[in-house]
Structure 1
């Protein structure tokens, strides 16, 4: 009897003493709390315990991680609202069926997405029923699990799902109406509005473009994009620069329908087999590793692994060729470690690449959510995510790679992205193209300060003009006591235009013109981007002049909105000098021939193992190691459509505003100044160099072109020209093959040419 009594007392506990309704409420609260904990753990907001749970669940269940909080929310609803007997058993059975069928279903779409458990659950079904039939069966089981869990008929569940969809739809529509009303109020207050759809449609007559699709895309782009220069600088919603607003409204950016999207899907082969080969190969050399995640990119697949404790990374790196042989993959690259993670990455080329379209990157949330005017997509990462660069933060960019590696295409993607985001009132460009075939496609766009420069001499003068414009802008900023052009537009230009807008009320046009003459409005400063396609061609002719001009702009021009984009296919130390590298920390390296060239660009190897065709390494001042990306591809036909679209908008020269190149007729005068300065430059520099060269030759008794080139630090062409002048004036004798020329006079002697000049 005593035993029976004790047994009954043992069955009595805290929960049975509570009411049924109270117990349901407790279980419901616990279910919701655990579901919230799962979500916080995934967002890395649940401490060490949450991080451990997330890592374990990700490994075993993959994307099915989210099935657990979904089931817990459903269980909480069941405990709270549904009254039936044996509720715990029914909830457990329904939940178990929901989780297993859900994990197996996820794995049928992607073998890695359901984790280890999902792969185990789906394998028997796929082996017996094939993939399609397995999906049908698992969807049916998933639906049955919901019926068991909620104790409802199919009609009731479908009705509930329909009500949920309608509720979400109404919520979205109310949010959209709220946004529309806000935009309408902004238009009424004189703030920036939408682009004119009718004007937009008139411009949408591009060949090889569907008209109806173009109109829709144009309208969507016009509603989302803003072009006024003052707003993009201050990054505020209000825009009170009436002139800039008016000109920007007339400008229509190239629609996204002109840009191609991604083409094809990557073929990565057998992922599990490759992972096993990597593991077995390393084990054969005495290195134990644990395989981790696999990241599939557009052109490569990265297998992450975690070495055992005590294994030196140098041992894994030293087995690069052995891994390449075992996997039959070349070139293979090892990233040890992956930045920010305690893993080693093995990067293997895909059997088939995905062509990354620029249109897909421009449509991505990463580029749309940034309001920076000089932001542009660089490419897709190994995980497939778009990577966005901001020229204003860089603040200059160096691109280098071998011929055919995709250097020019990468440059085109940057240019077209900037054109897509900026009106001519916001961005002005100087393009230098010594090759004459790459950038001349942009000759008719309204953003150019001058037609594309193809003469290396004019390129030097263009850089010198940019330096003078930089000094002039600094004078303006100093006079207004502001730090940069963003602060200048926010604190000087915007208040001036706001005051003008108030004074316009109740005044006649004549009075407004008179007021404008007495108190002129402060100037607006657009960004100026100088793009040089081939640095080596100019550096070989004018090394000192080019280096000094680039270094001066790179050191000082960021605050006044002047930026450089330099490109070369010869990454050599005499082209990319130490001074240039020190002042341009942001660099893009495409495939190069040797590790030496890679070190010249990035100060480390790696670029020699790239695949070409836009495969690149991106290094910025914010990174300790470069990131591997796949650049977007843009074809010549796309560029022609974009330039044709932009040229149509500037037929009447409405965007030819004065940007202070000394005259409103800026393009014509700029070219004239280049020609005039060029003549002066040639005359003065040759005389000065001649006297220096004459003194060097007489003192050293050595006369050769290479000797002058080394002593004066000038190019070969200029040294040869000076040597010809010395020969004409009887300072040195004629050339005698490979021998040095004879010096005909001694120190203190004069030639007949010098005597004639003195008599004159």
Structure 2
């Protein structure tokens, strides 16, 4: 596209955005000296045509209500089509208009996954974006994860691939997993996996597990103090410790247990430097469980389809209540929003991938599956 054509094209795009402002009633009316009325629209700073999308940057005028932008999102969809995304707050906003729809399904691929996470110390494989690129991040840098989504949204499948990917990427001496399955339905798959030090379903055992991790946290804090370092990665090589990931599914069922909730709060507040990280998931995000302090400790939230705007607000993933595609989610990373499609890893495929990591003691009793009759869920490990 030559310069003149680009200028003309950008002019038409600008007029289209102004038409959207007008249709959404995002303007201020002022009186002119001749007695006529004029409309002032939000200021358009930039229109940039990228490969696969067009980006519009604009700011609201002083006095305009920011909530109107989200409320009138349907108008932008009517003007630009359904493949749009609006990000921003208070005054500055960025509108992305994409040329193509996101994939509605992405099958988990081991080779692609390991390439995407190769530079991460403790990888979290998230999913593909609108451009088909796999998105991942390092939990050591961005600690603790909250996942929310109603039944059938893809939340459980995401948990499955997250844990499987961690196991595939780290040796047992580099990573220890502690799993709490309040629904008693999600983590059977990980029984007898060498990385898994506890895989429990009863509230009493989850409480014991957290007491154990609190003790481990204190030991690690003392070790950092002895060597005068700020993070376990800075310890001498001969004193290096494995990362620990605690994952509890449907933890909202534990909300009445003050010891458990206090322990989770302490782990998310202090765990990062000690190499202890938390993944929590829930079907129905509840504000009374996720207060401001608890939510601020969870750097990342993945919001799959939830029931309503209140639940999406609790997760800090606005728009999650409008998701219609299974496996689609919004991810909030310290205030930055991304729309992704999670990798689909079936139960059978996960079993095959995990088979090389399975161990079974001579008495054939699973080493990380604990029953009500156990005096200590950690006694067998010791």
Q: Give yes or no for TM over 0.5.
A: yes
Q: Find the residue that maps to 1:410 and give its secondary structure.
A: helix
- Relative distance call for 1:641 and 1:548 in structure 2 (3 A) is same
1:447 positional shift: 0.8
1:400 positional shift: 1.4
Residue 676 of structure 1 is matched in structure 2 by 375
Contact 1:461/1:674 (CA < 8 Å) preserved in 2?
no
Residue 170 of structure 2 is matched in structure 1 by 422
- Deviation per residue, 1:572-621 (Å, 9 max, x gap): 1123233321322322222222221122111x633223344222222234
Residue 467 of structure 1 is matched in structure 2 by 214
**Whole-Å separation in 1 of the counterparts to 2:340 and 2:51:** 13
> Mapping of 1:84-163 within 5 angstroms?
none
Structure of higher RCO (CA pairs closer than 8 Å, 6+ residues apart): 2
Residue 343 of structure 2 is matched in structure 1 by 632
Q: Find out whether 1:321 has 2:74 as its counterpart.
A: yes
1:640 positional shift: 1.1
**Whole-Å separation in 2 of the counterparts to 1:674 and 1:557:** 31
Residue 334 of structure 1 is matched in structure 2 by 86
- Relative distance call for 1:639 and 1:329 in structure 2 (3 A) is same
**Whole-Å separation in 2 of the counterparts to 1:627 and 1:455:** 35
**Whole-Å separation in 1 of the counterparts to 2:123 and 2:286:** 29
**Alignment equivalent of 1:526, drawn from 206, 224, 242:** 242
Structure whose CA Rg is larger: 1
Residue 617 of structure 1 is matched in structure 2 by 330
> Mapping of 1:493-642 within 5 angstroms?
493=238, 524-539=240-255, 542-602=256-316, 605-621=318-334, 624-642=335-353
- Deviation per residue, 1:397-438 (Å, 9 max, x gap): 111122222211221221111111111111111111122221
Q: Find out whether 1:397 has 2:145 as its counterpart.
A: yes
Contact 1:590/1:612 (CA < 8 Å) preserved in 2?
no
Residue 409 of structure 1 is matched in structure 2 by 157
Cα-Cα RMSD: 4.0
Residue 28 of structure 2 is matched in structure 1 by none
**Whole-Å separation in 2 of the counterparts to 1:448 and 1:593:** 33
Structure-1-length-normalised TM-score: 0.41
Contact 2:155/2:304 (CA < 8 Å) preserved in 1?
yes
1:318 positional shift: 5.0
Q: Find out whether 1:446 has 2:199 as its counterpart.
A: no
Aligned length: 352
> Mapping of 1:342-357 within 5 angstroms?
343-346=94-97, 350=101, 353-355=104-106, 357=108
- Deviation per residue, 1:256-305 (Å, 9 max, x gap): xxxxxxxxxxxxxxxxxx99987755566676978643665xxxxx6533
**Whole-Å separation in 2 of the counterparts to 1:343 and 1:554:** 32
1:559 positional shift: 2.4
Q: Find the residue that maps to 2:340 and give its secondary structure.
A: strand
Contact 2:192/2:360 (CA < 8 Å) preserved in 1?
no
- Relative distance call for 1:385 and 1:531 in structure 2 (3 A) is same
Q: Find out whether 1:380 has 2:380 as its counterpart.
A: no
**Whole-Å separation in 2 of the counterparts to 1:422 and 1:402:** 30
Q: Which runs of 5+ in 1 are unaligned?
A: 1-58, 62-114, 121-273, 297-301, 494-522, 654-664, 679-760
Contact 1:356/1:630 (CA < 8 Å) preserved in 2?
no
- Deviation per residue, 1:223-279 (Å, 9 max, x gap): xxxxxxxxxxxxxxxxxxxxxxxxxxxxxxxxxxxxxxxxxxxxxxxxxxx999877
Q: Which runs of 5+ in 2 are unaligned?
A: 26-38, 378-382
Contact 2:361/2:367 (CA < 8 Å) preserved in 1?
no
Point out the structure with the larger helix share.
1
- Deviation per residue, 1:53-104 (Å, 9 max, x gap): xxxxxx648xxxxxxxxxxxxxxxxxxxxxxxxxxxxxxxxxxxxxxxxxxx
- Relative distance call for 1:422 and 1:547 in structure 2 (3 A) is same
Q: Find out whether 1:305 has 2:70 as its counterpart.
A: no
**Whole-Å separation in 1 of the counterparts to 2:203 and 2:303:** 24
Q: Find the residue that maps to 1:616 and give its secondary structure.
A: strand
Q: Find the residue that maps to 2:197 and give its secondary structure.
A: coil
Contact 2:329/2:340 (CA < 8 Å) preserved in 1?
yes
Point out the structure with the larger strand share.
2
1:571 positional shift: 0.3
**Whole-Å separation in 1 of the counterparts to 2:110 and 2:184:** 27
**Whole-Å separation in 1 of the counterparts to 2:60 and 2:258:** 53
**Whole-Å separation in 2 of the counterparts to 1:351 and 1:421:** 27
- Deviation per residue, 1:25-47 (Å, 9 max, x gap): xxxxxxxxxxxxxxxxxxxxxxx
**Alignment equivalent of 1:367, drawn from 103, 117, 128:** 117
Contact 1:333/1:609 (CA < 8 Å) preserved in 2?
no
1:309 positional shift: 9.6
**Whole-Å separation in 2 of the counterparts to 1:354 and 1:445:** 28
- Deviation per residue, 1:169-199 (Å, 9 max, x gap): xxxxxxxxxxxxxxxxxxxxxxxxxxxxxxx
Contact 1:590/1:617 (CA < 8 Å) preserved in 2?
yes
**Whole-Å separation in 1 of the counterparts to 2:73 and 2:133:** 27
Q: Find the residue that maps to 1:619 and give its secondary structure.
A: strand
Q: Find the residue that maps to 2:278 and give its secondary structure.
A: strand
Q: Find the residue that maps to 2:351 and give its secondary structure.
A: helix
